[in-house]
Structures are given as structure tokens and as C-alpha cells.
Chains A and B, each alone.
Chain A
Amino acid sequence: MGAHRENVVKAFDEFRQEIDEHHDRRERLIKISRDATNLSKKVIFLLHRTMTEESNNDSNPSLRVVRRGREKLREVQALYAQIRFEVQAEQFWQYHRAVSPGLQEYIEALGFAHYLEHGTMVSYEEVQLSLSDENGIPYFTLPKEDYLLGLSDVTGELMRFAISGIAQKGGRARAREVCAFVRQCKADFERLTPYVKELSKKQAVTSQSLEKIEDAVYAIVVRGSEYDIPPDMLDDLIAQSISTFSSNTSAKTRLGQIDVRRGDDYDEI
């Protein structure tokens, strides 16, 4: 019986090593994933911030803004380069749940930057390529699920982008573009919902975002039709009224206020 215990202890000693190794690796990956999430969130905020700041004094600011965003994203890519040896072959799926949130956030930031630059969705191949070394060898195979879920989040950012930029020069035309784009996204994602868990939840969020953009665009069209002046002139009018009032309220209330002010200004003229 003593020999039996010895055998048990020996076997469990090995299990301990294996389990410890597993937990340690998992912790490391979760940590890195969290870092990736934070960095990506910062990039998204950076993009929003600079887009609203710069579009006032630059005709085509997106390129410069995006370049800054992409520089930041390279830090996230470096994080994933770090873990490439931790998630080789079958291990990737073992730790998929640890890395997935960060990955989705990264794709969201990348997708948003890509839209600002090209006005299109970033393709799966492009994302995968951004997660590859200089020879084009992927750090790991990007799961299609994460790609889709990440993209689905982009619509939320686009909503924010469209609405907060609506008061700026060309903002209204842009809001309509974004509206059409998000609508198309929603339609295209719909047929993939049965295949990807959680996508239907994200679809509901997308619908909400879409509705917000639609309401904003509707307001523009209805109120814009009251004045028989070309859009350029309206832009100038609004810019003028904004420079007298600089408000830091949230995007949604700002939209309402501007509409009121626009009416006031017009009366004075």
C-alpha cells in the first residue's frame, strides 16, 4: 500500500506541474489581452477626438488622424507578437477565451481606422496580415468569429462618429454616408447570426446604433428643408453659431441645441 501512495504522489506531481503551467500561461494571456483591450480603446478615443478636433481646420483630416491611430495600433500588434509562441497550434483554442476579448477590441479599433481612411470594412485578410510578422507568417490563425464580432462593434463607433461630427463641416453628408454603411452592415451580418454565438446580441446593439443615426439624419433632412439654402452655406452658418457657443455637452444633446440655435441665428439674419 505504501508503494501505491508513492505512485499516486508521483503521478500527481506531474499533474501539478502541468496544471501550474496551464494556469500561469492563461494568466499571462489574460493580462496581455487586457492590455490589448486598453490600448485599442485608447486608439478608438484618439480617433474620435482627433477627428472632431481636426475636421474644423482641415479639409481632409482623416488620413493624418488614421496614421496616428495606426501607429498606436502597432503597439497592440507587438503585444500579439509577444504571445505567438504561447498559442501555437492546438493551444490557441485552449486559450481562445482568454485572448478573444482583446482580439475583438483590436479588430474594432482597426476596423474603425480603416473606415475613416477608406470608407469600407476592413477585410479578414487585412486583419490577419496585421497580425503577422514581416514575412507574412501569422502569429496565429484569427478566428472568423472574433473577426465578425469585432466588426460588429465598429458600428457603435460609427454611430458616435456620425452623431458627434454632425455639426461640423460636411458632417451631415457624412452622417448620411455612415447611416447607409451601417444599414448595409446590419443587413450583411444578419445572415451570419445563426453561425456565430453572441452575434445576435451584437446585432441588437447595431440596430440601436443604426436607429440613433437614422433619427439624427432624419432631423437634418426635416430641419434642413426649412431653409432653402445650399448645404455649404448651412455649414458656415452652423460653424459661426458654434464658435460663439462652445459647449462640452454630450453628442446627443449637442445635436438638439444646434438645431435650436440654427433657427435663432437665421431669424437674426
Chain B
Amino acid sequence: MVGILNKIHSTLPESIPGLLDSVRPMLHSCQITCAAMAALIPPSQFWRWKEMWTNSLRTAIFSAALVEFLATGKLISLPEVCQILGIKDEWKGRFALPVEDYLHGLISLVNELSRLAVNAVTLGNFEAPIQISIFVKDLFAGFSMLNLKNDTLRRRFDSLKYDLKKIEEVVYDVSLRKLAPPPQGGRQI
């Protein structure tokens, strides 16, 4: 899934929807896995076993968020991820999607988007970096609102600013050379 999504870096905007369509079935196949796990976990013991699949789950969240962004340009919400992965509310206590994992998935998304901003320009898509920049800034504003402890989430959050910087630089390069129409107001005039 992540392998295929890697192709976004070398796919022209026109063919992105086709690429996404090929990923979606795989994303939906996670529903079967999630259901199988939920059936295995005894009531109230979700947190006991959670670490066994945390990484895979975060990757799935990341994929879902990336697909959503590429398709609509919007941030996927936690309930939407649950829906895509087929995680049901009534499994609470046995299987759920913790906020922490969702946020980890979003940070992976930002990491990936900073790469995409560079590669989009290489492919001649000069608008993408600006779109990404606005999206990531919104996300960063959201993350800044959290009171994080000194855990992995915090460390990964700290890495966000480098991604932000990288994207900013791309936007700067692009707008300096007037390769793209200026964002927001410019397009409306």
C-alpha cells in the first residue's frame, strides 16, 4: 500500500485518481484484519495487547490520510479513519483507534507531503507545493494546540517544523520565479 502510494512522487496530477483507486481496495482490506483482531481480543484488554499492532495501524492511518488529502485536499478526521478501516464503536474495550495513533499517522503524512512538495515541482506541478503548504500549516497550528509530554509524539511533532521549513522553501522558490500563481487572493483577482 505504502509502496504504491510512493508512486505519487512520480505521477502526474491527471493520473493520481487512478492511482488512488488502486490503493483503496487495499485500504479497505484492513477492515477484515481489524475485525479479526477485535474478535481475538478479550473485553477490556485492548490496551494490554495494543503495542503488537501499533506500527501497522499507524501506517494504515497514514495511508488513509494521504489518500484523502490527494483526493479532496482535506484532512481526514478520526471518525473517517475508523470508517475506512472498519473499526466499530461497539468494539470499545477490545479494539479502538486511539487519538495518539491517529496523530502519529498525521505526522507521517506531513513528513511525506514535504517530499511530495519537492517532487511535484520536479514534475512541473507548481501549484501543489502551495496547496500543501497551506494544508500543513493548518495541521501544524492544530498540533501546536496540544500539550505534549516528552514522548515519541512530542519528538515527532518537533520534526514537523523541518518539514514545514522544507515546504516553505519550495514555495519560496516557486513564487520567486513566478512559476505559480500567488496563493489565495492572487487567483481570485
Query: Which residues from chain A sit less than 8 Å from chain B, CB to CB?
Result: 1, 4-5, 7-9, 11-13, 15-16, 18-20, 23, 89-96
Contacts and interface: CB of A to CB of B under 8 A. Distances in A.
A255 B96 CA distance: 58
A55 B135 CA distance: 75
Contact of B147 (A7, A9, A23, A92): A23
Given A5-B141, A8-B75, A8-B139, A90 B146 contact: no
Contacts of A89: 43-44, 93
Interface of B: 43-48, 74-75, 77-78, 92-94, 99-100, 103, 134-135, 138-139, 141-143, 145-149, 184
A66 B162 CA distance: 61
A9 B142 contact: yes
B145 A9 contact: yes
Given A8-B139, A16-B146, 20 more contacts: A1-B184, A4-B74, A5-B141, A8-B138, A12-B145, A15-B103, A18-B99, A19-B100, A19-B148, A20-B147, A23-B147, A89-B44, A90-B44, A90-B94, A91-B47, A93-B44, A93-B48, A94-B47, A96-B47, A96-B48
Contacts of A12: 142-143, 145-146
Nearest to B143: A12
A16 B74 CA distance: 21
A100 to B, nearest CB: 12
Name the 4 nearest CB pairs between A and B, nearest first.
A12-B142, A93-B47, A94-B47, A93-B48
Contacts of B135: 4
Contacts, number: 70
A8 B141 contact: yes
A93 B75 CA distance: 31
Contacts of B93: 89-90
Nearest to B79: A11
A90 B46 contact: yes
Contacts of B47: 90-96
A95 B146 CA distance: 21
A4 B133 CA distance: 13
Contacts of A20: 147
Nearest to A18: B99
